[in-house]
Amino acid sequence: MSEWDNIEGLQQWSDKLGELLEAAKEAARSPGIEARLAVSDRLAGFIVNSWPNDAAIKALDALAAEASQDLMLATIEDRLKEIAGRTAEWHQLAKQFREQAETAGMRAAEIRLEKARRVAQSLTESVHLLQDLRGSLKDTEDPEFARNLARAVEMLQKLRSQIERGGKA
Q: Compute the distance between CA of residue 100 and CA of residue 39 in angstroms, rounded to an integer.
A: 30
| Helix (H/G/I), strand (E/B), else coil: 47 | helix
Q: Which amino acid is at 14?
A: S
Q: Compute the distance between CA of residue 89 and CA of residue 71 in angstroms, rounded to an integer.
A: 16
Residue 158 contacts residue 120 (beta carbons within 8 Å): no
CA angle 153, 158, 160 (to 5 degrees): 95
Digit-coded pLDDT (tens) for 62-111: 999 999 988 887 567 777 888 888 898 999 999 999 999 899 889 988 88
Average pLDDT, the chain: 88
Compute φ and ψ for 54, nearest 5 degrees.
-95, 180
User: Which residues touch 26 (CB under 8 Å, ≥6 apart)?
Assistant: 35, 39
What is the arithmetic mean of pLDDT over 21-47? 92
At residue 46, the pLDDT reads 97
C-alpha to C-alpha distances, 119 to 70, 112, 149, nearest whole angstrom: 57, 11, 20
**What pLDDT band is residue 140 in, cutting at 50, 70 and 90?**
low
111-116, Cβ contacts within 8 angstroms, sequence gap of 24 or more: 116/163, 116/164, 116/166
- Give me the percent of the chain exceeding a pLDDT of 90: 44
CA dihedral 46, 48, 49, 51 (to 10 degrees): 100
